[in-house]
């Protein structure tokens, strides 16, 4: 099951703020790096959540396409490692939390290391400790001194494009066609999704992700429940997805209707397979939203605290609802401050306008 642990994330951020900042200042910078013309083995570091990992996949695919035969390893966290099961170009996934695997990464010989973390420093420290001839990462703070090739980070640039720019020092050509439907569903996950959705085979359905790792990004359980009942009245089947922490909320949202609650019952890859079979996804600003983008599935997304220019899906298949209050977006470098006005940017999004957006998109792209 995919599970978000806010307590663990808070601990890691505090460690980074104290130890990471210190190490980034005292560790000696690397010598001028030599970028290999044909990298044999590359390490890509991707800590953080699901969304960042998903939007990194097109860059990984472009890298593999530019350098056939290159072996690409990933160093990730448990909470986002499931994404890379949807990217066949990845050779092996290592985990930060497992000391033996982190030690193995530091012992491996890499031609180049790309640290895709945007702000925190510990990943840059790890990149430096690999002693790779070329190290690439965002120059968003003192972490810049640990790379042979620091790259500017742009706060209001679509995140997928930020990741593409990390390939510039390697002179890797970005392939636009690799950004359309860029996730691949494993056969076993597709089979499991079919079993879970056996009651939805006859009619098109929508998928709803009501969760959010940050309280200020939640639209509200009552609104989602009202929404599901409205869809029932219009003959549209809803499927709720999420982690184990969303299971009880999902039960309350469906509230005796014919909607299906699969929250807490699937792996991340199986969740992706469910989205892939749907007509559209309704979600807040979340990592799950980007999975739908990676599967070329239409979306309706609810934005408030997050930066729409950086995180909202692009294209005619995607509808973004954003009240654009004077105080939003308030998120910066992944941190959303506690809201003094109870996240009005989200609560002012009405059920009526969400229903209208979903119906319009559903009628245009419904899958039978």
Peptide bond into 168 cis (omega under 30): no
Q: How far is CA 151 from CA 138, 146, 206, in A?
A: 5, 12, 39
pLDDT at 39 over 70: yes
List the chain domain ranges: 6-179, 187-365
β pairing state of 318-322 and 299-303: parallel
Which H or E element spans position 75? strand 71-76
Report which of residues 341 and 367 the model is more confident about. 341
Q: Please name the residue ranges forming H helices in the chain.
A: 6-15, 21-26, 50-66, 99-107, 122-129, 159-165, 187-196, 221-233, 247-254, 268-277, 287-294, 308-311, 344-347, 351-365
pLDDT at 190 over 80: yes
Note the pLDDT tens digit of each residue in 268-326: 999 999 999 999 999 999 999 999 999 999 999 999 999 999 999 999 999 999 999 99
Class of domain 6-179: alpha beta
pLDDT at 329 over 60: yes
In this chain, the answer to whether the domains covering 6-179 and 187-365 adopt an identical fold is yes
DSSP 37: S
Note the pLDDT tens digit of each residue in 119-139: 999 999 999 999 999 999 999
CA distance 248 to 30: 50
pLDDT classification of 2: cutoffs 50, 70, 90: very low
β pairing state of 318-322 and 205-209: unpaired
Class of domain 187-365: alpha beta
Mean pLDDT calculated for residue range 221-233: 95
pLDDT at 1 over 50: no
Evaluate if pTM is beyond 0.85: yes
């Amino acid at each position: 099951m995919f599970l978000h642990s806010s307590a663990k994330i808070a601990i890691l951020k505090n460690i980074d703020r104290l130890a990471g900042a210190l190490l980034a200042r005292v560790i000696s910078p690397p010598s001028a790096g030599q970028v290999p013309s044909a990298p044999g083995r590359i390490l890509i570091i991707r800590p953080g959540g699901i969304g960042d990992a998903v939007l990194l996949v097109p860059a990984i695919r472009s890298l593999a396409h530019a350098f056939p035969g290159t072996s690409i390893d990933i160093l990730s966290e448990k909470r986002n490692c499931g994404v890379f099961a949807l990217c066949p170009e990845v050779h092996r996934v290592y985990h930060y939390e497992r000391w033996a695997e982190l030690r193995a990464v530091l012992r491996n010989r890499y031609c180049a290391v790309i640290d895709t973390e945007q702000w925190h420093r510990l990943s840059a420290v790890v990149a430096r400790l690999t002693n790779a001839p070329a190290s690439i990462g965002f120059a968003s703070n003192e972490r810049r001194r640990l790379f042979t090739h620091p790259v500017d980070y742009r706060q209001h640039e679509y995140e997928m494009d930020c990741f593409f720019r990390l390939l510039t020092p390697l002179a890797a050509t970005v392939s636009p066609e690799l950004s359309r439907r860029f996730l691949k569903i494993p056969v076993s996950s597709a089979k499991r999704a079919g079993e879970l959705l056996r009651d939805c085979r006859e009619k098109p359905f929508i998928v709803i992700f009501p969760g959010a790792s940050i309280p200020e990004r939640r639209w509200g359980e009552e609104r989602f429940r009202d929404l599901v009942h409205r869809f029932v009245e219009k003959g549209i089947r809803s499927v709720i997805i999420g982690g184990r922490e969303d299971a009880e909320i999902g039960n309350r949202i469906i509230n005796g209707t014919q909607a299906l609650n699969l929250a807490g019952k699937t792996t991340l890859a199986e969740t992706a397979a469910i989205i892939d079979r749907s007509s559209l996804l309704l979600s807040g600003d979340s990592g799950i939203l980007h999975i739908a983008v990676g599967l070329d599935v239409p979306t309706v997304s609810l934005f408030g605290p997050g930066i729409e220019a950086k995180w909202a899906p692009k294209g005619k298949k995607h509808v973004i609802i954003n009240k654009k209050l004077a105080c939003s977006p308030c998120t910066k470098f992944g941190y959303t401050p506690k809201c003094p006005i109870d996240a009005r940017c989200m609560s002012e999004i009405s059920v009526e306008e969400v229903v209208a957006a979903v119906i319009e998109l559903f009628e245009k792209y419904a899958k039978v």
